[in-house]
Amino acid sequence: MKVDKIYLRSNTTFSKKVSGWLSNKGIDSSCLEEDKKNDTIMNLDGLVIFNENQFLPKEIEELRTQFDQSQKPVYKVDINGTLRVGVSNFALWIEQNKCKKMMIAGSDKLAGNPNLERYLLNM
């Protein structure tokens, strides 16, 4: 990945899991401060949403709507989908959208899914 910084939602199990992965990859990450959320989103290049079978919880759907309204690209990774296709398409999405600073989000339920670990190991 050619990403400079990744933002995560504060105090979520999913964010803690992804933060550990980012740290191992040497990618800078930080939590999105709720009071500066709108300003931060305006300075990001895109949003990546990890999900299971295209299901998005309400808080993730609201985040997606904010990015859509700001005309920022959004990419969804279905961790129950085909691994190689998901990883390849993710890399192409980053490259095509020139994402240097982005946000990664997902529900806390995903942190316990072994498919998330599989995706993270291959990205």
Counted residue by residue, the chain has a size of 123
Per-residue CA distances from 24 to 2, 17, 121 (Å): 15, 11, 10
Number of structural domains found in the chain: 1
CATH number at residue 78: 3.40.50.450
Q: Which residue, chain included where needed, has tokens 């079978």?
A: 53
Token pair recorded at residue 12: 């979520």
Can you say how many angstroms the Cα of residue 115 is from the centroid of all Cα atoms in its chain? 15
39 lies in which domain range? 5-122
pLDDT tens, position by position, 75-110: 999 999 888 998 999 999 999 999 999 999 999 999
pLDDT tens, position by position, 16-69: 999 999 998 888 899 887 767 777 888 999 999 999 988 899 999 999 999 999
